[in-house]
């Protein structure tokens, strides 16, 4: 089983008439939903509100085969993200102070069962306390043989304390076995050098694998031992990019699980062919997501 930990929210996305329509979203929720639709056993640690949006989110998770057994339930409001689209590219304004996910404390999270093979952390839940510190502590508390993947999905404009955020990410990256970064993310994290040099810097921080995405240019997998693989982006008619990177994450985790490689030690032994297959599933799944409005990852049958 894969356990994802982070935000569940409502994306308010403009339709063709410019009216905002609520869609279930959140980077970590999207990754969990994509995993569930790809047929992988998955749970989500998140805040679930008792408000109508919380009900909408929970039904979406159930419909996508994501267990809510680890949800932290409260009467606090659901986080809202206003999505601004420019030729299909999405930027966000978040409203989350005092919300169901933002105020999660360590004591709120149920014990992690032994059946969890891997955990995924990411999104805006890593930006600001208290939930950001709660999730970092949760990641650092995991046993060394439990695989950790992190995708910070960096939103500098949402961070209240940049020095604290950078320190938090440094500790999480140091514990993670797999780190996914976009070209924009790695530019914020490592300002100097070309992409290859920046990738080396990140790998020296601790992870066994770095996944670097470059939008329409495709994605590259770097292992600490020097093995690399690259896949071009799959051609698609782009409606919007909401959830594309999250679907990519799920595709990578699903591919590794199917290859019986969802352990830290297995990552070190992956060959270029297995990495290429992993990137292939991830990019094909992401291409489906960008071809339709909102974060709407594909079901396994759509990729067959």
Give pLDDT tens digits for 100-112.
999 999 999 999 9
* DSSP-assigned letters across all residues of 200-254: HHHHHTS-SEEEEE-GGG-EEEEETTS-EEEEPPPP---S--TTHHHHHHHHHHH
For residues 83-111, average pLDDT: 88
Flag whether 165 is in a domain: yes
- The answer as to whether 301 is a domain residue is no
User: Of 44 and 237, which is predicted with more confidence?
Assistant: 44
Share the mean pLDDT of the chain.
94
Mean pLDDT score, 142-158:
95
Q: Determine, yes or no, domain membership for 41.
A: yes
pLDDT tens track for 12-37:
988 888 889 899 999 999 999 999 99
Q: Mean of the pLDDT values across residues 128-151?
A: 98
Instruction: Classify residue 304: in a domain, yes or no.
Output: no
Please indicate, yes or no, whether the overall pTM of this predicted structure exceeds 0.85: yes
Total tally of structural domains belonging to the chain? 1
Confidence of residue 90 (pLDDT cuts 50, 70, 90): confident
DSSP 8-state secondary structure symbol assigned to residue 123: G
pLDDT over 70, % of the chain: 100
pLDDT band, residue 57 (cuts 50/70/90): very high
Find the range with the poorest average confidence among 5-14, 233-242, 284-293: 233-242
Q: In what order do the strands lie in the sheet with 20-25?
A: 20-25, 9-14, 79-86, 89-95
Is residue 303 in a domain? no
Query: Would residue 235 be called left, alpha or beta, if left means φ above 0 and alpha means ψ between -120 and 50 degrees?
Result: beta
Q: Which domain holds residue 173?
A: 2-296
Residue 88 — very low, low, confident or very high, per pLDDT cuts 50/70/90? low
The verdict on residue 49 lying in a domain is yes
pLDDT on residue 162: 94
Q: Is residue 302 part of a domain?
A: no
- Residue 234 has a pLDDT of 87
For residue 137, tell me if it sits in a domain: yes
Here the CATH number for the domain that contains residue 218 is 3.40.1190.20
The per-residue pLDDT for 139 is: 98
Average pLDDT of 52-67?
A: 98
Q: Are 159 and 169 in contact (CB under 8 A)?
A: no
pLDDT tens sequence across 217-259: 999 999 999 999 999 988 888 888 888 999 999 999 999 999 9
Please state the rounded mean pLDDT for residues 89-105: 89
Q: What is the DSSP letter of 150?
A: E
- Alpha-carbon distances of 2 from 6, 214, 226, 254, rounded to whole Å: 13, 26, 27, 9
């Amino acid at each position: 089983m894969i356990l994802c930990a982070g935000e569940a929210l409502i994306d308010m996305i403009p339709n063709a008439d410019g009216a905002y329509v609520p869609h279930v979203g959140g980077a970590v929720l999207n990754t969990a939903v994509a995993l569930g639709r790809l047929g992988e056993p998955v749970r989500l640690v998140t805040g679930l509100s008792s408000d109508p949006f919380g009900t909408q989110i929970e039904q979406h998770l159930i419909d996508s085969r994501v267990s809510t057994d680890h949800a932290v339930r409260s009467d606090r409001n659901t986080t809202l993200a206003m999505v601004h689209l420019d030729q299909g590219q999405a930027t966000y304004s978040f409203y989350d102070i005092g919300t169901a996910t933002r105020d999660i404390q360590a004591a709120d999270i149920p014990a992690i069962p032994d059946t969890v093979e891997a955990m995924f952390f990411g999104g805006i839940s890593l930006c600001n306390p208290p939930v950001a510190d709660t999730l970092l502590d949760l990641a650092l508390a995991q046993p060394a043989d439990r695989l950790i993947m992190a995708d910070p999905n960096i939103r500098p404009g949402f961070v209240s304390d940049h020095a604290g955020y950078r320190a938090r990410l440094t500790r999480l990256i140091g514990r993670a076995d797999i780190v996914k970064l976009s070209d924009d993310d790695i530019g914020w994290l490592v300002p100097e050098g070309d992409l290859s040099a920046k990738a080396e810097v990140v790998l020296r921080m601790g992870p066994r694998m770095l996944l670097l995405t470059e939008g329409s240019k495709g994605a590259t997998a770097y292992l600490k031992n020097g093995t690399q693989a690259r896949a071009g982006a799959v051609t698609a008619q782009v409606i919007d990019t909401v959830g594309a990177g999250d679907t990519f994450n799920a595709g990578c985790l699903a591919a590794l699980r199917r290859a019986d490689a969802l352990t830290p030690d297995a990552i070190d032994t992956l060959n270029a062919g297995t990495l290429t297959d992993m990137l292939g599933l991830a990019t094909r799944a992401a291409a489906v997501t960008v071809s339709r409005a909102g974060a709407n990852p594909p079901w396994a049958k759509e990729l067959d």
